[in-house]
Structure 1
Amino acid sequence: PGRIRVLVKHPMLWGTFFWSAGHLMANGDLASVILFGSFLVYSIVDRVASYIKGDPNPVFVSYRSDIIAIVAGTVLYLIFALWIHGYLFGVTPFQAAS
């Protein structure tokens, strides 16, 4: 694992937390609150449970994993956010406010 994994311990839970929190801020209807709120609660509960359980700290190996994760994650995020999200869900995340 790289430095990111060592520092945050559970990157997927942080990703789920920020994804669901962002969608809750953007969508206030009941269905969205139930869906994204449940993911938000899941990420918080699972992170607290892993803290209580006492997960061992991963040992830092190299920055190679971090570089791959940052570059690949940024490219995939931009592709999805700028093009694919609009086709799949009919809403582009970065549309101008009117």
Structure 2
Amino acid sequence: MSDDRRVRDAQMRATINQKLVETGERERLKELLRTRLIECGWRDQLKAHCKEVVRQKGLEHVTVDDLVSEITPKGRALVPDTVKKELLQRIRTFLSQQSNI
């Protein structure tokens, strides 16, 4: 990918993020995600995984950074496709309603 393309992509992401924040849509999306993840049991699965990691390594041998690096890939993998698709559709709808992006 060319440097120009990377710069344009970064600028576009920044513009979209700014619009999401300004309109309050970012917070609404975060709340929707939080709700959907709780509904599908993702939160409970991740909590159980955290407990297992701590149990295996021992509480005194685990730092927060260790725990985060250990559970992040699993957490991402456990997000159901339906939740990802719903969020993506909401973002697309939001962007299609924004005429000045």
State TM-score, norm by structure 1.
0.28
- Decide which structure has greater helix share: 2
Relative to the length of structure 2, the TM-score reads 0.27
Larger Rg computed on CA atoms = 2
